[in-house]
Amino acid sequence: MDLSRFARRRYTAWATPVEPMPRFSAALAASCPGGRGPEVWVKRDDQLGLFPGGNKTRKLEFLVADALAQGADTLITCGAPQSNHCRITLAAAVKEGLQCRFVIEERVPDSYDVNASGNNFMFRLLGVEAITVVPAGTDMAAAMTRVADELAAVGRKGYVIAGGGSNALGGLGYVACAQELQQQCFDAGLWFDRLVVGSGSSGTHGGLLAGFLGNRIDTPIVGIGVSRDAAEQAPLVHKEAQAVVDLVGAGFSVPREAVHCVGGYWQPKYSLPNAGMVEAVQMLARTEGILLDPVYTGKVMAGLMGLARKGELKAGERVLFLHTGGLPSLHAYERVVLGDAPVAG
């Protein structure tokens, strides 16, 4: 898939590492059937540029390039109160000399606190221009359009970025990631039986799937839902992957059977902690010194662990976990991830 005709800002001057996790794999195997489990590796997209890394950086390389080409002076995006996407979008705006505004959706009532730590602290430190807080269920696209209209009324130009940077243009970031990973595997003589990734707004999962299919990478992708179960999530991923394929002009249809989504690990609700997430965050921290976040990667790793314990990720399989970042939000859940506060079972 040729991405060369698309404008792109480069925020990362390196390929993110692909690393084995032998101590984590051994700890997980102890709880798997027969005391044997998969060989788990990690691709460190938490080390992407735009501090402190994360998957949104790849999407923003294409989205911000488009914003600059259109003469925008302000980036407008949306997310939940501890949104990693909002924080990285703001970091990109600072780097490019742009202003940035957010629409924050309180998916859990009264969950936004301007003085909270984690990403909310980062919002203030990085200098967000304005934040509009709206209740759960708000039409976020319409709310961001209203912000853009307010800017236009005073002679400014806003550029609206969808939640999670998840549209066809943003999805190109994970086509590029697929190509990067393919080259890394070739150079190192590596292969993987499966790749596990978080599946939420679907831009990362859909972009990767388009990139794998378009570059003939036959490794299956398993998307662990962070806000929906498979029946609702799979159509979103399929739609995103097809939109990316169509934008590139690759000329093929994404098979529905190529979309593999797993639910059951995100409950009781998006962003609310559960016991599986706490176990996953603690285990990876204490075996490999790698930190996960409580909203996305912690629940995704809980899903990987659950599939291994069920025998669905088989003993001896080499599984690659895509670490999509999210470190700052960890600080807003300190008591929870240390096991000092009750969580859902």
3-state secondary structure of 202: coil
- Alpha carbon 218 to its chain centroid, in Å, reads 22
Q: Per-residue confidence of the chain (345 residues) as pLDDT tens digits?
A: 999 999 999 999 999 999 999 999 999 999 999 999 999 999 999 999 998 899 999 999 999 999 999 999 999 999 999 999 999 999 999 999 999 999 999 988 888 998 899 999 999 999 999 999 999 999 999 999 999 999 999 999 999 999 999 999 999 999 999 999 999 999 999 999 999 999 999 999 999 999 999 999 999 999 999 999 999 999 999 999 999 999 999 999 999 999 999 999 999 999 899 999 999 999 999 999 999 999 999 999 999 999 999 999 999 999 999 999 999 989 889 999 999 998 987
pTM of the model: 0.96
The β-bridge partners of 342 are none
| Per-residue model confidence (pLDDT) at position 107 | 86
| Per-residue model confidence (pLDDT) at position 345 | 79
DSSP letters, 43-100, are: EEGGGSSSTT-BTHHHHHHHHHHHHHHTT-SEEEEEE-TT-HHHHHHHHHHHHHT-EE
Rounded Cα distance between 104 and 132, Å, is 6
Cα torsion 244, 246, 252, 255 to 10°: value is 50
Domains, the chain, with CATH or none: 18-54+167-337 (3.40.50.1100), 56-165 (3.40.50.1100)
191 touches 318 (CB < 8 A): yes
Rounded Cα distance between 296 and 69, Å, is 32
Rounded Cα distance between 253 and 243, Å, is 10
| Per-residue model confidence (pLDDT) at position 316 | 95
Query: Which residues does 235 contact at the CB level (< 8 Å), separation at least 6?
Result: none
Report, as residue numbers or ranges, the catalytic residues: 83
